[in-house]
Structure 1
Amino acid sequence: MKPQDIISGKSSLWIFGYGSLVWKPDFKYKRSEVGHIKGYKRRFWHGDNFHRGSDELPGRVVTLIEDDDAATWGVAFEVSGSQVEESLKYLNVRETVCGGYVTKMVDFFPDGENEPPVSALVYIATSDNTLYLGPASPEEIGAQIAMCRGKTGHNLEYLVRLAEFMRNSCPHVEDRHLFSIEAAALTVVSYLLAAQ
């Protein structure tokens, strides 16, 4: 389903970000809330040959994998009026430039006390994308991230900024997948710097 079909006739929309959107939305929005969605886990299982990698060395970025027992923390942005169309137009290029993404409406639970959930749009990279890399050990993923760079910047920046967001905005959440990959990638970088 296309984002335009989901929000047809709506004057406002929430968009949930769980990767680079948490620290670099790059679109205008009315307000943002830290919180989580249920039923999904964040994994560095998607390849990127544009923003954070190349055809020769694809980087790794996050996608969501269905898991009934999991929750994924991130940021939801409320867009309204002309921001709705503008943000979707922008995100269609940014999030689906490589294809293989689907959009879904999910319940987003803000972190604030007594705040009700809101319905939010989320972009998910699927396994039928040719760039989908699938699972690997934290060491393998970390080493790959440490070596890759794309048009938007180094893959390591993407990883470290996401980890920083989790530590600063969600300090009560232990994201083992994310933090183990960060540790592995930084170990590779330290080794490479020491070898110079």
Structure 2
Amino acid sequence: MTDTDPFHLHPELRSVIKPAAESFFRDFDLSVLDARAAEDGDPIDWRTSDEEREAGRREWLKDSWDQDLWIFGYGSLMWDPSVEFDEVRHAHCHGYQRSFCLWVEGGRGSKEEPGLMLAIDEGGNCEGLAFRVQADKLDHETFVLFRREMIISAYRPTWLNLDTKDGPIEALGFVANHDYEGIIPDIPMHDQAKMISRAEGFLGTNFDYLSNTHDHLKLLEIEDTYVSELYAAVDNLRDTSI
């Protein structure tokens, strides 16, 4: 195994991380989501416009085009990054923690039973995976990444200082944007559990999303007390409702 192998530091991750070519997010068409939003009666400007998103991406990366880029994954990006990367490391992020604080009425929820999606928010710390993208791949890979993460303005691109066993790195991460009305950071745990236990949308149930996160954290040997406690609370609610 050589340094040119993306998994040379963590060969055990090869069987866990989905290849980019197999990812739904690699080539997905936003017009499909636009059609779904129209069916649900959402306004035509429900998402960030392609022009606005692209302008934001280029502004964010204006000083980084000639450099390799690290990307921090803390949710589904860990096992389904959808980008071609050249190295992966376990990484610790200080100052941010996982939080199901993004209120959604589509995808994994509905207007009748809203769901909650994952972000990282200020406070605490979390462990995830960092992916390095080579400079010569940066334009296309960040196009794929921003199309996925910046469909709406719920996340804020941020430079994060990460610790890895092979030294500190600076990485791009997507953190909760408190200027977005759907970010609600103070929902009590019990209410989070109730929402997640009930919510379902065209992408599936909210519980499946939480369960997938919980199971992959275990598979990656990443401990997150908050996610474990929330999963247990939702699982208990589902058991008592049967």
2:61 is the alignment partner of 1:12:
no
Q: 2:210 aligns with which of 159, 163, 166?
A: 159
Once the two structures are superposed, what CA deviation does each residue of 1:27-55 show, in whole Å capped at 9, x if it has no partner?
22222222211111211111123332233
What secondary structure is seen at the aligned counterpart in 2 of 1:63? strand
Counterpart Cα distance in 1 of 2:137 and 2:82: 12
Q: 1:10 to 1:151 in 2, by over 3 A?
A: farther
Once the two structures are superposed, what CA deviation does each residue of 1:147-177 show, in whole Å capped at 9, x if it has no partner?
1223433211221122222223235x3x222
Q: 2:107 aligns with which of 51, 76, 93?
A: 51
State how 1:95-174 maps to structure 2 within 5 Å: 95-110=149-164, 112=165, 115-171=166-222, 173=223
Question: Identity over the aligned pairs, expressed in percent?
Answer: 24
Structure with higher Rg: it is 2
Q: 1:37 aligns with which of 65, 75, 93?
A: 93
Structure showing the higher strand proportion among its residues: 1
Question: When the two structures are superposed, what TM-score results if normalisation uses the length of structure 1?
Answer: 0.83
What secondary structure is seen at the aligned counterpart in 2 of 1:136? coil
- For structure 2, the residue ranges without an aligned partner over 5 or more in a row are 1-54
More displaced, 94-103 or 181-190?
94-103
Q: How many residues align?
A: 186
2:137 is aligned to 83
Cα distance, 1:3 vs structure 2: 4.1
Counterpart Cα distance in 2 of 1:3 and 1:117: 24
* RMSD of aligned residue pairs (Cα, Å): 2.1
- For structure 1, the residue ranges without an aligned partner over 5 or more in a row are none
2:239 is the alignment partner of 1:190:
yes
Cα contact 2:100–2:118 (8 A) shared by 1: yes
